[in-house]
């Protein structure tokens, strides 16, 4: 197992040495034939030294993701550690109309994440369980959403029930705990499209695009709709398919912008996460104040990122992690590491908020599983914050 996993991505250019069972004790032994050319032997020795330095037992020494097709645009994904243990697993199942997505991550600190989403016609459900390294549950999220008819849906989040009505029109009502909230979604739609640079265009929104934005909200559970109403003034269609979404506070107008190609609720919840993260009452558009500016969160991330930088050598894992660690801050156009980090903190906050709340069965970006595996402490801080907010 070890030879295929430990070497696949990092050392593919080297000749593969043969390992004996001693490798389980982290001692790699090669059974190289005596007639092996000297150069190859040197390369093997170099490889073994590298392996010893990197410590093959490290949870950071993981394979390149292996993708296998499930259905539609959904691919199963598996990542293993050097011992062949599965550390990231995403699996889709289809049984008639019933679609299931199971996500499992074993984090570098030994804790685990299990999420199961089931979409069955008019019914959706989600269970998310966090466990510590001893197998004890440290956090659990349950959500369901059921469409009763064209006009009405019921959603439940951790035992709290929300009735959503008016789904066949532009004005919806969310009822919870004897309170009624009427939300005019039509009024929250910007009549023109914006460019990828978040500039206005003269292009008018089409009926189909308007319908798409309305449905992006209507399919969310009641607590998320209420949060959306609190945090977002306008929804905007992007005049591009290149990016999936943005959150922008344009001179006090809080905008959630989406590309029409976005089908699942993950992008929507991610952008809503950016909106939640921004503390509107503090700072201006140049000096944004965010929940993610918290010193403990910054410090925790720094430790996790340094461990990752020092121990993970697999480029196929490092690349998606740049969404959060911003080592490519210069290419991203930032003047300094610190400036880039502010947005890296924000991206992790948004992604974790999206992960905790989304309940559509759809393709998953590898970066989510990587973030969960390598940033377990800081993602838990975002989760704890979410528990206060929802
Ligand atoms: Zn983002």
pLDDT per residue as tens digits for the range 98-130: 999 999 999 999 999 999 999 999 999 999 999
CA–centroid distance, 272 to ligand 1, in Å, is 9
Residues lining ion ligand 1 (Cβ < 5 A) are 347, 350
| Phi-psi category of residue 173: left, alpha or beta, with phi > 0 → left and psi -120 to 50 → alpha | beta
Query: What is the DSSP-derived secondary structure letter of residue 219?
Result: T
CA–centroid distance, 257 to ligand 1, in Å, is 11
Question: Domain-by-domain residue ranges, the chain?
Answer: 2-54
What confidence tens digit (pLDDT) does each residue in 152-162 have?
Answer: 999 999 999 99
Give the pLDDT mean for 221-241. 95
> In the chain, what are the helix, strand and coil shares in percent, each to the nearest 5?
35, 30, 35
CA–centroid distance, 354 to ligand 1, in Å, is 10
CA–centroid distance, 245 to ligand 1, in Å, is 8
Of 138, 144, 163, which Cα lies nearest the Cα of 152?
163
CA–centroid distance, 36 to ligand 1, in Å, is 51
What confidence tens digit (pLDDT) does each residue in 318-377 have?
Answer: 999 999 999 999 999 999 999 999 999 999 999 999 999 999 999 999 999 999 999 999
Of 119, 128, 379, which Cα lies nearest the Cα of 265?
119
Strand locations in 107-240 (E): 112-120, 123-131, 137-147, 152-157, 160-165, 171-176, 179-184, 192-194, 200-204, 234-237
Of 356, 378, 360, which Cα lies nearest the Cα of 308?
378
CA–centroid distance, 116 to ligand 1, in Å, is 23
How far apart CA 203 and CA 193 sit, in angstroms, is: 6
CA–centroid distance, 379 to ligand 1, in Å, is 15
How high is the pLDDT of residue 226? 97
CA–centroid distance, 355 to ligand 1, in Å, is 12
The residues, any chain, with a CB within 8 Å of residue 64's CB and separated by 6 or more, are 8, 9, 79, 314, 316, 317
């Amino acid at each position: 197992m070890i030879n295929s996993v430990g070497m696949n991505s990092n050392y593919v250019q080297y000749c593969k040495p043969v390992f004996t069972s001693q490798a389980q004790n982290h001692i790699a032994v090669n059974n190289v034939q005596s007639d092996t050319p000297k150069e190859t032997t040197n390369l093997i020795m170099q490889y073994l030294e590298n392996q010893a330095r990197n410590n093959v037992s490290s949870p950071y020494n993981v394979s390149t993701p292996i993708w296998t097709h499930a259905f539609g645009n959904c691919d199963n994904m598996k990542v293993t550690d050097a011992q062949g243990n599965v550390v990231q697993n995403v699996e889709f199942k289809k049984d008639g109309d019933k679609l299931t997505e199971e996500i499992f991550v074993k984090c570098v600190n030994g804790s685990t994440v299990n999420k199961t989403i089931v979409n069955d016609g008019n019914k959706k459900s989600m269970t998310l369980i966090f466990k510590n390294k001893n197998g004890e549950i440290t956090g659990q999220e349950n959500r369901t959403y059921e469409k009763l008819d064209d006009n009405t849906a019921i959603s439940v989040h951790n035992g709290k029930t929300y009735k959503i009505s008016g789904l066949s029109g532009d004005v919806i009502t969310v009822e919870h705990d004897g309170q009624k909230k009427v939300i005019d979604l039509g009024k929250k739609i910007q009549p023109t499209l914006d460019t990828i640079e978040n500039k206005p265009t003269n292009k008018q929104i089409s009926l189909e695009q308007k319908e798409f934005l309305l449905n992006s909200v209507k399919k969310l559970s009641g607590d998320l709709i209420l949060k959306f109403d609190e945090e977002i003034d306008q929804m905007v269609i992007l005049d591009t398919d290149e990016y999936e979404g943005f959150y922008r506070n344009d001179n006090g107008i809080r905008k959630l912008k989406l590309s029409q190609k976005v089908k699942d609720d993950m992008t929507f919840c991610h952008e809503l996460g950016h909106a939640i993260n921004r503390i509107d009452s503090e700072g201006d558009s140049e000096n944004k104040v965010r929940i993610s500016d918290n010193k403990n969160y910054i410090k925790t991330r720094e430790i996790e990122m340094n461990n990752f930088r020092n121990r993970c050598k697999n480029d196929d894992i490092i690349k998606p992690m740049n969404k959060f660690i911003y080592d490519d801050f210069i290419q991203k156009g930032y003047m300094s590491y610190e400036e880039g980090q502010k947005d890296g903190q924000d991206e992790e906050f948004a992604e974790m908020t999206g992960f905790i709340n989304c309940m559509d069965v759809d393709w998953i970006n590898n970066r989510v599983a990587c973030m969960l595996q390598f940033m377990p402490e800081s993602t838990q801080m975002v989760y704890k914050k979410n528990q206060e907010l929802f």
